[in-house]
A = this chain, B = another copy of it.
Amino acid sequence: MLKELNFIRILDDLKGIQRAAYVLGGERNENSAEHSWHVATAALVLERYANDEIDILRVIKMLLVHDIVEIRAGDTILFDDQAMETKAAREALAATELFGMMPQDTADELRYIWEEFESGQSADALFANAIDRLMPILLNHNCEGKAWRQHGVSRAALIVKSQQIKDASEELWGHALTLVNDGFEKGWLTS
């Protein structure tokens, strides 16, 4: 059996990793597989709004694989400071195991692109991170800030943690800020 087919089988587990965000108007939590589809497709239709020139294939590859490490390391909530401290080490171990299941060249390519996403420095990684930060704002705004209220998120903290949207796209940041301010006015975010 091909090594890749075994890797693809294991990917099925990402459908069982629960995120903080809610989908379908607040009906249930999102899982990391459907989230990965949503951000990759969003990047596809928002490409033109990037501040800098980007390579959309690399951006989409990043978004397709960016959460795969959660199959071993679990989802870490952005506003859980304690869990965020150990996130990098836990995920690096998971990356070694999971990408290492494949032939060396494929493993190396995906490991490199995942690390580029994580460091968030290149124009491609910045745009991919921006879409990843934009999506929970859209989803929270869709269901009366359900996850924001549940985790007591403040507007100030959300703006700080969404800075990558501004760095990647002034235009998307303008729209994101409108949604954040609207959520604050409606009482879904604290100050």
Contacts and interface: CB of A to CB of B under 8 A. Distances in A.
A159 interface: no
Contact of A38 (B5, B8, B38, B171): B8
A27 B175 CA distance: 39
Given A46-B4, A138-B5, A11 B64 contact: no
A146 to B, nearest CB: 13
Given A24-B12, A139-B12, A102 B45 contact: yes
Q: Say how many copies of this protein the assembly contains.
A: 2
Nearest to A2: B175
A42 B42 CA distance: 19
A45 B28 CA distance: 31
Interface size class of A (residues with CB under 8 A): 35 or more
A16 B11 contact: no
27 contacts: A1-B175, A2-B171, A2-B172, A4-B45, A8-B45, A9-B138, A11-B41, A12-B23, A12-B24, A12-B38, A15-B24, A15-B34, A15-B38, A31-B34, A33-B33, A33-B37, A33-B38, A34-B37, A37-B40, A40-B40, A41-B64, A41-B65, A44-B64, A45-B110, A57-B57, A57-B60, A60-B60
